Amino acid sequence: MSTSNPTTPSNEEDQKSKKNKRYKFLLGINYICLFVGSVSSSLLSKFYFVHKGSSRWVSTWVQCAGFPLLLIPIFLPHYLFKCSDRKPFSGFTPRILILSVLVGLMLGVNNFLISWGNSYLPVSTSSLLLSSQLIFTLLLSVIIVKQRITFQNLNCVILLTLSSVLLAVGSHHDKPQGLTRAKYFIGFFCTVGAGLLFALYLPVMEKIYREIYNYGMVMEMQVVMEVAATALATAGMAWDGGFPEMRRESLEVFDLGEKAYWVTVMVNVVTWQLVFMGTAGMVFLTSSITGGICMTALLAMNVLGGVVVYGDAFGGVKVVSTVLCVWGFCSYVYGMYLKMKDDEKDKENNGNGEDLIVMSNKDHHHHHEMEMVEVNLAANHV
């Protein structure tokens, strides 16, 4: 793709290049955001429902309503710290704007499905079910961004998918008290549906990010997407009486009181921003399949968090599922490690080969010069 694209001017630093000095720093920050956000948002979402919060629209709304927080790191570097020459939102094109809005609406639907699933399922069950998105992420990555299937990523996807299947077969007894079988399976399929939508989101964003070389624009696109998702959630809340219900819920329903209710909502808003910004950064800096695998690896932490904080059942099936999840992720990381070592060896071999060619050329040139000197000496002698 031509670098003359408005989103990638020729004088712009390529921040997703591994040679960039900020690459590892950005990668580390985004994975920390993803780790902290994934575990805390999952537990807080369940906390809301455990303490008699019942509005799925509220739970949906908090996942995207924190987008104003992203305006701080977007505007401060240029206008306050003067450390960036690029003006915020200056690289947007109509195409990028439309794509961001459409993806944002898809995320809005995904958020609602996640909220519905969390309201019915234990955290450990819903977290492990979300790992089913990985096989679809791989397949869609092959179709959309031409991801190459290797033994490492295929092995990881199979193990993680098998983990989800085992959970689905063996968790029929894991229903919270008072939850009907029908509602349990509604939550089950909503969570799987959320995983499928997220599987589509990852490669789509990877394809869009191929036109972008600046991390600031990733945040700007995230703002636009979350504005669209918030608009969808707000419309749903207004249609379903969500705002009056939110007020009534804080005063009369939430069993820890009004102050605890609003603290729960606000902290959840922040943690979900960490999740989505961490995810976007991982896809931008690596790939959709690597981002999906990193998220799936964190599901094991969500499982342990659900067991520790809420006392979710953790019987034999969940133990096996978690082991498969960790096994699959470790095999992928090991495969990536081997690939990096092979790449380093190839680079060294290529470097040595180039040095030999240069030395050979120099020797040839020197030999040629010596022959010329000998011819000149012979001519002078004659």
Task: For residues 359-368, give the mean pLDDT.
Answer: 53
Greater pLDDT, 131 or 68: 68
pLDDT at 114: 84
Percent of the chain with pLDDT over 90: 23
Residue 156 above 50 pLDDT?
yes
**What mean pLDDT is reported for the chain?**
79
Is 0.75 surpassed by the pTM of this model? yes
Residue 347 above 80 pLDDT?
no
Greater pLDDT, 42 or 222: 222
Greater pLDDT, 364 or 61: 61
Least confident of 66-75, 125-134, 189-198, 268-277: 125-134
Greater pLDDT, 377 or 193: 193
Q: Confidence band (pLDDT; 50, 70, 90) for 270?
A: very high
- Residue of 177, 47, 58, 192 lying closest to 114 (CA atoms): 192
Q: Confidence band (pLDDT; 50, 70, 90) for 153?
A: confident
pLDDT at 3: 38
Greater pLDDT, 77 or 229: 229
Q: Confidence band (pLDDT; 50, 70, 90) for 97?
A: very high
pLDDT at 224: 95
Greater pLDDT, 187 or 317: 187
Q: How far apart are CA 229 and CA 231, in angstroms?
A: 5
Greater pLDDT, 69 or 56: 69
Q: How far apart are CA 109 and CA 233, in angstroms?
A: 9
Percent of the chain with pLDDT over 70: 80
pLDDT at 267: 94
Residue positions counted in the chain: 382
Residue 253, CB half-sphere, CA atoms under 13 Å: how many?
16
Residue 364 above 70 pLDDT?
no
Could you read off the pLDDT of 183-233 as tens digits, one per residue? 888 888 888 888 889 889 999 999 999 888 888 899 999 999 999 999 999
Residue 34 above 80 pLDDT?
yes
Contact 104, 229 (CB under 8 A): yes
Task: For residues 61-88, give the mean pLDDT.
Answer: 85
